[in-house]
Copies of this chain bind each other. A is one copy, B any other.
Amino acid sequence: VSNKLPKGFIINGVHCGLAKDRKKNDLALFYSQAPCSAAGMFTKNKVKAAPVILSMSVLKKNSSRYRAIVVNSKNANACTGNRGIADAKKMCSLAAKGLGVANTSVFAASTGVIGKYMDMGKISSGISEAAALINRKTVNISKAVNAIMTTDTFPKIVPRTFMIGAKEVKIWGCAKGAGMIHPDMAPPHATLLSFILTDALVSSKAMNRALGEAVKYSFNCVSVDGDTSTNDTCLLLANGLAGNRIIGVSGDDFRIFLKNLMAVTKDLAVMIARDGEGATKLVTIKMRNAKNYDNARAMAAAVATSPLVKTALFGKDANWGRILAACGRSHVAFEPSKTEIRIGNITVARKGLSVRFSESSAKKYLKNKEIEITVNLNCGNYDLDYFTCDLSFDYISINADYRS
């Protein structure tokens, strides 16, 4: 799939020793041969990891000279104080030196255990090795994406190609995340990591607006376990090498760019929910006829984070009372007596009340790997899809001893 990367981007990953398994990569570099504009969204968690703090300041200082992202797994570099900040800076400067670019043109991102200092010896040799590969123009998408995975069971990559005027433009996105997934990102402020590369020529303002919209309906609408990470980071780099006419904040070109960016981020968000720790099924919560985005999202999040709803879905139990109860505890004003709930195409509650339905059909439907739950509030005309997964025995196994 290396021909799917937008023009001018080279990415690769190595094993530097943070991961015990030698086949697991743990350090990646994302590099652009030409300077990029950037937009970023970062976690709103009050506890922000060092690379998040650093990348937020890098994004402020500079607007169109970005060249690279250096990222590691296995250590979140969070709750590591000044030493953590210094380590994140060192990662950037090592990457900058290895690639022959300016320190301030490099973003850092990390994911893994919280509260542990970085092993900078390993990081340093990993960056050298990865930079050498990139300097030889060696692209290895699967190694790069493997390096950012933690409990992920499959790599998450979405490439798109489309036209702006007569020019072919590409957007390529990757993401990691399976646990501690409940992104709540704000500009310039997700351990969701997502790096999106494009060769489109697009104004800074348009990039920020497009990324904000895309994250709002994708990463900010996915939850595995309700735990918002200290490290969530989504970065969009655009190097303009497609040679298209510049995309501004409005017009058809913006709409086409936004549509494709949203397709990338939404597909990645769905992949994250599908790969949720221990998940046996992807669950889409379709909020219908809500009053507005905030209400729809808050209620969907309450349903998506309800252990009772999630275990019922794991048990293939059409326990719609738990769904309505979760809506009720979301602190959103709504009228239970107007609410209709469907599991797949089976209406299980109407006007907030039980309706007759075939339990066996519902159970059969709930055996699918992909489930849709529709909550029609009938109190507005705002529709929102929210992505989550069930809660299984494996979630407990995975997380009862993650550090060791």
Contact = CB atoms under 8 A, between A and B. Distances in A.
Interface in A346-403: 349, 351-354, 391-393, 395-396, 399-403
Given A46-B334, A81-B337, A228 B400 contact: no
A72 interface: no
A349 B399 contact: no
Contact of A319 (B179, B330, B402): B402
A253 interface: no
Contacts of A332: 46
A391 B402 contact: no
Number of identical monomers bound together in the oligomeric complex: 2
Contact of A311 (B308, B324, B400): B400
Most buried by B among A325, A330, A331, A349: A325
Contacts of A353: 79-81, 115
A336 B396 contact: no
Interface residues of A, number: 67
A189 B399 CA distance: 37
Interface in A60-106: 76, 78-81
Nearest to A307: B225
A217 interface: no
Contact of A227 (B179, B230, B325, B352): B325
A322 B332 CA distance: 28
Contacts of A328: 45-48, 228, 230
B404 A307 contact: no
B79 A354 contact: yes
Most buried by B among A115, A354, A401: A115
Given A308-B179, A336-B46, A117 B399 contact: no
A192 to B, nearest CB: 13
A267 interface: no
A327 interface: yes
Interface of A: 44-48, 76, 78-81, 113-117, 179-180, 182, 184, 225-230, 305-308, 311-312, 314-315, 317, 319-322, 324-334, 336-337, 349, 351-354, 391-393, 395-396, 399-404
